[in-house]
Amino acid sequence: MIKNPKVGIIMGSDSDLEVFAEAAKVLEEFGVPYDITVGSAHRSPERVKDYSEGARERGVKVLIAGAGGAAHLAGVVAAHTTLPVVGLPVKAKALDGLDSLLSTVNMPPGVPVATVGINAGKNAGLLAVQIMAVTDKDLEEKLAQYKNKMAKDNEDKGNKLSEIGYKKYLKQ
């Protein structure tokens, strides 16, 4: 594991790695150290418990957790820590990920999990950064720059579309 991670990422299976890699990429873009591992709420509950309970001691400020199917991982993580948990539901073979979304977002009272959309790894990473930016001015500034760049890129695309029309725009 990385030394002094600020975000801990735990997924139910390595088959979820592509989705969680999107969160890792965002954290790297913002210079946020993280660790990443696999732990199943059902197949390795002790590992999940140990990872969650030890997160604060490792320096973690936010956890990103999720799985596909019976996606109870984020809730189990939240049950074992007082840190904020971002739930990342993964699209499984059944129900197009709706089962994952509903089981991640519907936590019982007292066990909150902030949940992003199905396979929305990028948003999970960004939400973790936003949570930490509440007390980190450097991250706050990086987020402002990120959002300004998104706005400019979108504006540029709109201007180009208006200039050349949709047919030429689609062909590029």
The reply to whether 13 sits in an annotated binding site is: yes
This prediction's pTM: 0.94
- Whether 65 and 38 have beta carbons less than 8 Å apart is answered as no
Dump pLDDT digits (tens) for 34-76.
999 999 999 999 999 999 999 999 999 999 999 988 789 999 9
**Residue 1 — pLDDT band, cuts 50, 70, 90?**
low
Separation CA 55–CA 5 (nearest Å): 9
Q: Is the pLDDT of residue 2 over 80?
A: no
Range of the domain at 161: 137-172
Asked if residue 2 belongs to a domain, the reply is no
CATH number of the domain where residue 24 is located: 3.40.50.1970
Dump pLDDT digits (tens) for 68-124.
887 899 999 999 999 999 999 999 888 999 999 999 999 999 999 999 999 999 999
What pLDDT is stored for residue 94 in this prediction? 81
Do 166 and 101 lie in one domain? The reply is no
User: What is the number of domains present in the chain?
Assistant: 2
Do 52 and 106 lie in one domain? The reply is yes
Q: Is the pLDDT of residue 9 over 70?
A: yes
Residues in the chain: 172
Do 50 and 123 lie in one domain? The reply is yes
The reply to whether 43 sits in an annotated binding site is: yes
Contacts of 165 (CB under 8 A, 6+ apart): none
The reply to whether 58 sits in an annotated binding site is: no
Average pLDDT, the chain: 96
101 SS3 class:
helix
Phi-psi region of 83 (alpha: psi -120 to 50; beta: other; left: phi over 0): beta
